[in-house]
Amino acid sequence: MRQTSLQQKVILGYTLISALALGLSLFTLVELRTVSQQLLSGEKVITMLNHILELRRFEKNFLLYHQQEDREQLSLYLEEIKRDVQLIPSLGRTLVEYDALLPRLDDDAAAKELRILGKSLVTAAEQSAVVARRQVHEALARHRQQLLLAMVVVAVVIVLAGRSVSHWIVQPLRRIEESMASVVDGRFETLRIHSGDREIQSLTQAFNTVLKELQRRQKHLLRSEKLAALGTLMSGVAHELNNPLSNISTSCQILLEERERLEPGFCAEMLGQIDEQTLRARNIVRSLLDFSRERSFESQPLALAGLIKEVIRFSQGVLPQHIQVHIDIPPALMIVGDRQRLQQLFINLLKNAVDAIPKAGEITIRARHGSADPSAPGRAVGLSRDRWVEIEMRDSGIGIRADQMSRIFDPFFSTKPVGQGSGLGLTVVHEVVEEHEGEIVVESVPGRGSCFTIRLPPNSSKLNQSHVS
């Protein structure tokens, strides 16, 4: 695509409009000059008509009173008329005959013929004056029409130029504005604008560069959010490891101190307990390693009750004594998904619920198949409602205001004081739910708590594919 410049197009547009304005001005000046000339010609014709009328008046006075002054005035007006006779060429011959009769005014026949010729002069001059007036009116009407047509042409050209400017400048800028709005909503979509203009290309490239940097930083922050969840697990793991390690230590002390007096069966029982507690500790550490390790998306059948209990057990470090957690999940209820991501989802939801309860309260986690509300929305097209796995986490906290509900999943949006939240916890929850082709619905009443409802399909073609974390 040949590269152009918006500056060149704007200059071209201004030049075109200026040329049209100049052309319209010149056209108006030429037309006004033409009309002015026709008005001047008409005025001369009117002046000649007045001279002819004065000629007839002095002619009549001379024939009645035979005064020399009237004859002199008659001759003067005749000279004036002869000088401008080119305005009315049809008067030429009549004026010659009229001039030839002036010396014979004492003859009655000549005087009679003079009156006839004078009348012809007046008639011809009046007709010429009428024609001149009509020509002036026609010129004015033609000038108005042409000026109106020229203004319409200029208006059409300006409208077309405006549409071109809109296509060149306004539309790309509107696309950029919409892309910025999508970034605010958490959708990082690469901007693609097919334009040959250098400025638009540079702006698009700069926007996409900033977008890539934002994506990189958001991934970094999401990784930080995962590390925060890992810290939560660590406190729970430390508590969980304390019990099996204490049991192992106690059993080892007994064997070391009393091994000579103990019966072989009791020693075997103590060694079995040590082995059992060692396996328990190993499983706890393995769970921590699985959560912290970066790996691809791995879908597998999971017992939901066991998964939630494990999350609760590992989250003991962030669960205050004044908050009670109730779990109502059928033991046989299974879901299909990535264990690590689902752990992070429920850890973030649990931490969000804990932060929403400033004093004593409770958190209830329940799950079932299907939806109790037949009108509840769902994204899993073709999936019958009785096969959904619906998980609710309800808290008795402060709730969420109505004006905040539409933004709670936006990146970096937080209702907590500055420094007490990254605003990414619920963003991670939303991403994990979408990764599992599910949906999340939030209901909240300020002062009475919130309920996060997650609906997951039992299986999906996407869940069988590997996703890079």
* Residues 404, 428 within the same domain: yes
pLDDT at 92: 84
Asked whether the beta carbons of 48 and 95 are under 8 A apart, the reply is no
pLDDT at 329: 92
pLDDT at 464: 46
* Residues 301, 289 within the same domain: no
* Residues 407, 259 within the same domain: no
Q: How many domains does the chain have?
A: 3
Residue 300 belongs to a domain with what CATH number? 3.30.565.10
Confirm whether 168 is domain-assigned. yes
CA 180, CA 214: separation in Å to the nearest integer?
A: 12
Helix (H) or strand (E) holding 12: helix 6-65
Range of the domain at 250: 195-293
* Residues 301, 339 within the same domain: yes
Q: What DSSP assignment string belongs to 301-338?
A: EEEHHHHHHHHHHHTGGG--TTEEEEEE--TT-EEEE-
* Residues 302, 286 within the same domain: no
pLDDT at 454: 92
Identity of residue 410: D
- Residue where a domain terminates, one of 129, 148, 177: 177
* Residues 162, 228 within the same domain: no
* Residues 170, 210 within the same domain: no
Exposure string of 447-461, with b = 16+ CB inside 10 Å and e = fewer, is eebbbbbbbbbebbe
Asked whether the beta carbons of 460 and 301 are under 8 A apart, the reply is no
Asked whether the beta carbons of 440 and 378 are under 8 A apart, the reply is no
* Residues 274, 311 within the same domain: no
Please name which of 335, 255, 275, 265 lies closest in space to residue 300, comparing C-alpha atoms.
Answer: 335
Reading the chain (469 residues) residue by residue, the pLDDT tens digits are: 456 666 777 777 778 778 877 887 888 888 788 888 888 888 888 888 898 899 889 888 888 888 888 888 888 888 888 888 887 888 888 888 888 888 887 788 888 888 898 898 889 888 888 888 888 888 888 888 888 888 888 888 878 877 776 666 777 777 777 777 766 665 667 777 766 667 677 777 777 887 777 777 666 665 665 555 555 556 555 655 666 777 788 778 777 777 677 777 777 877 887 877 787 677 666 655 655 555 567 788 989 999 998 888 777 766 788 889 999 999 889 898 888 888 888 888 888 888 888 888 899 999 988 654 444 443 333 344 556 899 999 999 888 888 888 778 776 666 665 445 555 678 778 888 888 888 999 999 888 899 999 998 866 544 444 443 3
* Residues 252, 147 within the same domain: no
pLDDT at 150: 81
Confirm whether 185 is domain-assigned. no
Confirm whether 183 is domain-assigned. no
Does the global pTM surpass 0.75?
no
Asked whether the beta carbons of 451 and 393 are under 8 A apart, the reply is yes
Residue 231 belongs to a domain with what CATH number? 1.10.287.130
Exposure string of 220-233, with b = 16+ CB inside 10 Å and e = fewer, is ebbeebbeebeebb
* Residues 279, 324 within the same domain: no
Confirm whether 1 is domain-assigned. no
CA 307, CA 168: separation in Å to the nearest integer?
A: 56
Confirm whether 187 is domain-assigned. no
CA 435, CA 467: separation in Å to the nearest integer?
A: 9
Identity of residue 118: G
DSSP 416: S
Please name which of 407, 409, 423 lies closest in space to residue 224, comparing C-alpha atoms.
Answer: 423
Helical packing angle, 264-292 and 304-314, nearest 10°: 90
Residue 150 belongs to a domain with what CATH number? 1.20.120
pLDDT at 407: 77
- Residue where a domain terminates, one of 262, 293, 324: 293
- Residue where a domain terminates, one of 293, 322, 346: 293
Confirm whether 189 is domain-assigned. no
Enumerate residues 6+ apart whose C-beta is below 8 A from 254.
262, 270
* Residues 392, 334 within the same domain: yes
Confirm whether 190 is domain-assigned. no
CA 113, CA 224: separation in Å to the nearest integer?
A: 122
pLDDT at 367: 92
Asked whether the beta carbons of 122 and 53 are under 8 A apart, the reply is yes
* Residues 160, 225 within the same domain: no
CA 303, CA 196: separation in Å to the nearest integer?
A: 57
Confirm whether 350 is domain-assigned. yes
